[in-house]
Structure 1
Amino acid sequence: MGYYDEDYTTRSQKQKGNRGGWFLAGLLGAILGAFLILISVPALSEWGLLPNIQSNEAVIESEPNIEDGNAMTQTINVDVNTDITKAVEKAKDSVVGVINLQQTSLWEEGYGEAGSGSGVIYKKEGENAFVVTNHHVVEGANQLEISLSDGTKIPAELIGSDPLMDLAVLRVDGAKVNSIAQFGSSEALKPGEPAIAIGNPLGFLEGTVTQGIVSNPDRTIPVDFDGDGVSDWQAEVIQTDASINPGNSGGALINIAGQVIGINSSKIAQEAVEGIGFSIPINIAEPIITSLEQTGKVERPFIGVNLRSLSEVPTYHWNQTLKIPNDIDYGIVVMSVVPNSPAQRAGMEELDVITELDGQKVEDVVELRKYLYKEKEIGEELKITFYRNGEKQTAALKLTQEQGL
């Protein structure tokens, strides 16, 4: 170690007397070099000796051709950020906050904020504008407000809400509404496409933008409406890794063109899970939105029974109570029949076990609802195959316009 210390000391002493001169010369050299670079770079770029530093394009050189040894040069546009900002600029003002106000107590007249979410202004007609959001955002509200992108708050009226699809439509005074969202298409989405979520996470971070991709355009997830731990419906959703946080519900999922491709609905909130959010595809949501706007509800075919999947019933009752054959391990148990309903008029009874609809096997309540809501129309006839006291029977009924089953 002494050698290096001594060598450093000797060199330091030799340079000490001329330190100012060396420093001044170095400074002048640096200034002169920078000046020459400023003059030469634009000229070299113009002559093609350097890439254009103002261009939004990148030059990519491919592997040399095996036969002639030459490499092909391709120019591609990689200015994705500009496309994203343009898309956000197009859509952001149509995304609003939705505030759920509920009475604070039975003894007070005032209303307090019980929750908040997001919404999308999708239409302006006459003096009114219309906002789509999630059912769970407005559920239980005594009053509703929307907050525009500039912070202006406007009272909102709930026109209709649909728990099954988790959608709701609000009507507001359109005088201060200046931006309307454009609906795109969710049918042709592919994994890996850009996806941008816009909303108001946590109720106060208005206009938050998160970027990601379409992770899966056609995902199916179970939905439990009554909180009993049993799936009541299989929702068709777009899966995305764009961040969807509390308060984003009801906001827009847009494509790179700034068009709404989904209404953000939920995410998997587990400590070990990251980047799994879900959005209702706009092609599925649009007819529901139209129905809610026009009638205040979604009319679906109605059977008139309360049901439970056979898999939820203890196996002891399969033979002792329901008396179904040993080879039947699927179906839906009729727990009760609504008076004067299509099911009652067709002669169906409590503890009947439904196994087929129109000759198609149905495993559980979810499959029954999916077939009924997607394949049948109000006023159509439905043929039901079921077991009663061990005997296979059929009933034909005419579906009515009432909501529910």
Structure 2
Amino acid sequence: MRNDDDRRENFDEKYRRRTHALDEHDTVQFEKIDDDDLKDDVKDEHVDEREAPSHDDFREEHEVQKEDAPKPRTKREKSSFLPGLLAGIIGAILVVSLYHFLSNDSNNADEVVNNTKDTAEVRQEIESKHEDKLITDTIVAVEKAKPAVVSVINLQSQTNLFGNESSLAEAGTGSGVIYKTDDEYAYVITNNHVIDKATEVQVNTSEGDSVEAEILGTDIWTDLAVLRMPKGNITDVIEFGDSDKLLVGEEAIAIGSPLGDMFSGSVSRGIVSALDRRVPVDIDGNGTDDWEAAVLQTDAAINPGNSGGALVNSKGELIGINSMKIGLENVEGIGFAIPSNDVKAIVSELETGGEVDRPFIGVGLLDLYLISTSDQRNYLKLPSNVKQGVVLSSIEPGSPAEHAGLEELAVVTKLDDTEVNNAMEFRQYLYGNKKSGDTITVTYYLDGRQYETDVQL
């Protein structure tokens, strides 16, 4: 059997170079692929129907990356959504999360110290300093949450003309949130893409201190990362709100470092515009949606560099992680944030294990629609009534898939009793409904016949 640690390391290395397309200002751009262009691209990949290729030739033409891999730090590069989806989505893909631990782990000798003031205490402090001002709930919320929001700087070694590595230089910037402290350290959540390929990570606090931080864990699918840095004189951490209790129309306040550390601590305000939006994401930049993010929608202004910053409510509680925005020329005020309750579970796993434990099946995936109808009939031997599914482009040696008898070029149509129409739905079902050690029933077609097998993950 394949060692899970080896698997995760290989996946991490593979995807560390590929993910959200970002420039030095932490901006992501997705571009629409016209239907005609997609057809041309797919047609070019297919072989001449008059010359039937061998099994190996077909597999090589449609080779894709291995499935099962949740742990990357990825390269900033241009990516795109599938045809027919939103064009020109420019994400300041930001995600910030804070996990408020109220008790100490019995196995941890360090005492967890979380200093959070209630809104009444904060209001009293502000009013004592500004007796001539009307202190609103928004002012109190910002004053409560802002000290826990930091700037995160991605520093990378630069190569000179002679091929030698020179001193570190800033490769990207984002935001982060302090969610916990103990006797020695302060813990920060930021985006995975903010610290991608970093040689060193620097955190600038609201007090003006610059501190080197270490990366404790990252997750490509949620674009989250956890950092740890010396506590120093840090006392403030953010408080989590309950994102499951949010209502459309509630106040939403974004805090972060738009356009970099120069504008650190910037605040914008809006409302919660919608709940449970589903936004497709192309993680590896191949023009195919790999994942579907479940997010909140807000009209609070979000800009490049806000990545990893906080979205808080009128009580100064974290309700979401700013994650994306639609940046079309004629579109304003459509931003997205990862709900705080979703962030909590990810943060705890990243902090303690360095990654999110997801089930491993050991297959490469290719959407069936990318293969021409003639190839589906001639080489995959699919019945004419099978129009949606996922092609297994590769089976990893020693994997659960191999032990269960799955073969390359099998076309999966169902996982358990749930139909899967594409690779994204395959991953969503696998990661959302299963854990390591579970058994999953796979329904598939191979050489014109339908089969069913149980795979122990």
TM-score where L is the length of structure 1: 0.78
Q: In 2, Cα distance between the equivalents of 1:311 and 1:301? A: 26
Aligned residue runs from structure 1 range 238-253, under 5 A? 238-253=296-311
Task: Find the residue that maps to 1:367 and give its secondary structure.
Answer: helix
What amino acid maps onto 1:320 in structure 2?
A: N
Note the C-alpha offset of 1:394.
1.0
Q: Distance in 2 between matches of 1:259 and 1:137?
A: 23
- Deviation of 1:240 after TM superposition, in Å, equals 0.6
Matched, 1:376 2:434: yes
- Once the two structures are superposed, what CA deviation does each residue of 1:103-138 show, in whole Å capped at 9, x if it has no partner? 111413310000000000000022011000011111
Q: CA deviation at 1:80?
A: 10
How far apart are residue 364 of structure 1 and its match? Answer: 1.1
**Unmatched 5+ residue regions in structure 1?**
1-78, 400-405
Matches of 1:396 and 1:137, distance apart in 2: 39
Q: Which of 375, 384, 388 in structure 2 is aligned with 1:326?
A: 384
Q: 1:269 maps to which residue?
A: 327
Comparing 366-375 with 308-317, greater Cα deviation is found at 308-317
Q: C-alpha separation between the residues in 1 aligned to 2:322 and 2:155?
A: 21
Rounded to whole Å, the distance in 1 between the matches of 2:297 and 2:372 is 35
Greater CA drift, 85-94 or 174-183: 174-183
Partner of 2:209: 152
Q: Distance in 2 between matches of 1:131 and 1:314?
A: 47
CA distance in 2, matches of 1:81, 1:238: 28
Tell whether 2:125 aligns with 1:82: no
- Tell me how far apart the structure 1 counterparts of residues 214 and 172 of structure 2 sit (CA, whole Å): 16
Residue of structure 1 equivalent to 2:222: 165
2:146 equivalent to 1:92: yes
In structure 2, the residue matched to 1:254 is 312
Q: How far did 1:238 drift?
A: 0.9
Superposed CA offset, 1:274-331 (max 9, x none)? 1111111111111011000000011101110000111222222110111111111111
Q: Do residues 112 (structure 1) and 169 (structure 2) align? A: yes
Structure with the greater alpha carbon radius of gyration? 1
How far, CA to CA, are the matches of 1:298 and 1:313 in structure 2? 32
- The aligned residue for residue 101 of structure 1 is 155
Aligned 1:6-405 pairs, distance under 5 A: 82-105=136-159, 106-203=163-260, 204-399=262-457
User: SS state of the match for residue 232, structure 2?
Assistant: helix
**What is the CA–CA distance in structure 1 between the aligned matches of 2:450 and 2:221, rounded to whole Å?**
32
Distance 2:360 2:403 in 1: 13
* Matched AA of 1:171: R
SS at match of 2:252: strand
Q: Which deviates more, 207-216 or 362-371?
A: 362-371
SS in 2 for 1:104: strand
CA deviations 1:327-363 (Å, max 9, x no partner) are: 1111100000011000011111110000111122111
Select between 238-247 and 101-110 the one with higher mean Cα deviation.
101-110
1:397 Cα shift? 1.2
Q: CA–CA distance in 2 between the matches of 1:314 and 1:131?
A: 47
- 2:420 maps to a residue whose letter is V
Q: Give the deviation of 1:220 after TM superposition.
A: 0.6
Give, in whole Å, the separation in 1 of the partners of 2:217 and 2:374.
43
CA distance in 2, matches of 1:108, 1:231: 36
Q: Percent identity?
A: 49
TM-score (normalised: structure 2) = 0.69
For 1:90, the aligned partner's letter is K
Aligned pairs, number: 321
CA–CA separation in structure 2 for the residues paired with 1:112 and 1:159: 22
Higher helix share: 1
Cα displacement (A) at 1:270: 2.0
The structure showing larger relative contact order (alpha-carbon pairs under 8 Å, at least 6 residues apart) is 2
**Ranges in structure 2 where 5+ consecutive residues have no aligned partner:** 1-132
For 1:291, what is the secondary structure of its paired residue? helix
> 2: CA distance between counterparts of 1:271 and 1:143?
35
Name the amino acid aligned to 1:111: L
1:190 Cα shift? 1.6
Deviation string for 1:195-251 (max 9, x for gaps)? Answer: 000000000201000000011121110000111111100000111110110000000
In the aligned structure 2, how far is the partner of 1:100 from the partner of 1:347?
Answer: 44
